Amino acid sequence: MTHTRKLSRGASALAGKARGVASLLRRKLAQAPTAETLELTAPEVVANPFPCYEALRGSGSVHFLPRHDFWLVLGYDDVNAALMQPQLFSNRVRDYRQVDGVLLGADPPEHATARRAVSHFFSAQALTAQAPFAERTAERLLRPLLDGAEFEVLRDFASPLVEEVIAHLIGLDKETLAAMRAAPGSAGDLESLFASFDSIIEAAAERTPLCDQLVREGGGVIPRAHARSLIRLLWVAGTTTTRRSVSSSVLLLLRHPGVRERVASEPSLLPAFVEESIRLHPPEHMLSRAAAVETELSGVKIPAGATVKLCVAAANRDPSRFDRPESLLLGRAPNRQLSFGGGTHRCVGAALARMEAATALRVLLRLAPDFRSARPLDTLRFVGFANDTERLEIKC
C-alpha cells in the first residue's frame, strides 16, 4: 500500500510536469511569429530577429509579410538563386536609387560600366597597397584610447578607422574628409545628407583627380554627375557596413574567450574568424530587390513589381547549407556565406571590408590583449538589421 501511494504520488508529479511542459510548448507555439503577425520593427525582434527567421523558415522559404508589404526570402538556395538572376530580381528599388542610381540601384547592362570604373579601386593590387595604411591608421587611432579608462568601439575606433581608409583609397584629401565627417543631415534624412555630400565633392573637384579618374576608368561613358554619385556610394558603403563588421567582431571575441585565445595566438586564423563573424552577423540583414516579372521561388509565385527582401542573415544560418549554423567555427570550410550578396551585384568592396576588419582586430589584440567589456556581456546585443552594437565600451 505504501509503495502504491509513493508510485501514485510519483506518477502524479510526472503528470504535472508533463502538463507544465505541454502548456509551455503551447504558449511558445502561440507566440511563434507567422508571416501575418510578424512585426520586424518590434523591439524584441530588433534585439534578436534570428528566432523569428528560423520559425518562419520552418514553414517555408518564401513569405509575404502584410504588415510590411514585401516578400521575405529566407532559404539559402532561394536567396542565392535570386541574387544570381538580376533579370528577375532587379536592384532598381527606391532605397538603393536614393543612395546611388549608377551602380547600386542600376541593372545590367548600365551597371557593368559603373562597376568596371570602381573595380579599379578594389583590385588585389590596390588593396595590397592599402593594407599598410590601414595598419598604421589602426595603431595611431588605438594608442591614445589605451590611456583612458574605457572607449566605445564603434564611435572611437571602428568609425574613424574605416573613414580614413576609404578616404585614402578613393583619394579624398584631409579637408574633404573632415567636411564629409561634418556633413549636415543624418542617415534618417538621406536627401539632405546626400545633398551635402554632393556639394562637398563638387567643391573638392579642383583638389582631387577622383572624378576625372572615374570618368576615365568608365571609358568616357560616365558623366561627372555619375562619378559624384559613385564617390558618394563608396563613402557610404565603405563606412557604414565595415564599421559594423569591426564592432560586431569585437563583441564576438568577447563572447567566445576560447576563440579569442586561439586567434590571438594564431593571427593567421583572423580571416576565418572574420568570415564567421560576417556570416553570423551580416552588416545588412536584408538585400532589397524588385520582381521584374512574375516569378517563382520554391513554388511560391511573386507578382511583378513586388518588393522582395532577400534575408542573407537567415540564409547564412540555413541548416540545409551550414553544419551547426548557430556556432562560430574557425574551421568551417567551405564558408559560402551571402553577406556581401552574389552575382552581378556582389559587393565590390567585400575584400576591403574583410581586410579592414582583420586589421582592426589584429591591432587590438596586439596592443590591448587584455581588453574586456566595460559592462556585463549579457547587457550587450546586436541591433537587428543595422547590426551596430549598443554602446560596446571596452576597457584595456
CATH number at residue 304: 1.10.630.10
285: nearest Cα among 263, 246, 314, 307: 314
Torsional class of 88: left (φ above 0), alpha (ψ -120 to 50), beta (otherwise): alpha
Domain count, the chain: 1
13 within a domain of the structure (yes/no): no
Which residues constitute the domain of residue 377?
37-172+208-395
Count the Cβ atoms, other than its own, within 10 Å of residue 143.
Answer: 12
| pLDDT at residue 204, as a whole number | 76
User: Does 227 reside within a domain?
Assistant: yes
Query: In this structure, is residue 114 part of a structural domain?
Result: yes
Residue 162 inside a domain? The answer is yes
**362 located within any domain:** yes
pLDDT in tens, the chain (396 residues): 433 333 334 434 434 444 444 444 344 434 678 999 999 989 888 888 999 999 999 999 999 999 999 999 999 999 999 999 999 999 999 989 988 999 999 999 999 989 988 888 888 898 999 999 999 999 999 999 998 779 999 999 999 999 999 999 888 888 889 988 888 765 556 677 777 888 887 777 666 666 777 777 666 667 888 888 888 888 888 888 899 999 999 999 999 999 999 999 999 999 999 999 999 999 999 999 999 999 999 999 999 999 999 999 999 999 999 999 999 999 999 999 999 999 999 999 999 999 999 999 999 999 999 999 998 988 887 765 445 666 789 988
Do the domain assignments include residue 233?
yes
- In this structure, are residues 40 and 314 in contact, taking their beta carbons and an 8 Å threshold? no
Task: Answer whether residue 328 is part of any domain.
Answer: yes
Burial code of 100-121, b = ≥16 C-beta within 10 A, e = fewer?
bbbbbbbbeeebebbbebbeeb
What pLDDT does residue 12 have?
A: 42
Distance in angstroms (rounded) separating the CA atoms of residues 212 and 298: 46
Q: Which of 238, 231, 209, 212 is nearest to 223 (CA)?
A: 212
- Taking the C-alpha atoms of 200, 203, 206 and 207 in order, what is their torsion angle to the nearest 10 degrees? -40
| Largest distance between two CA atoms of the chain | 100
In a domain, 179, yes or no: no
In this structure, the chain runs to a length of 396
pLDDT value of residue 22: 40
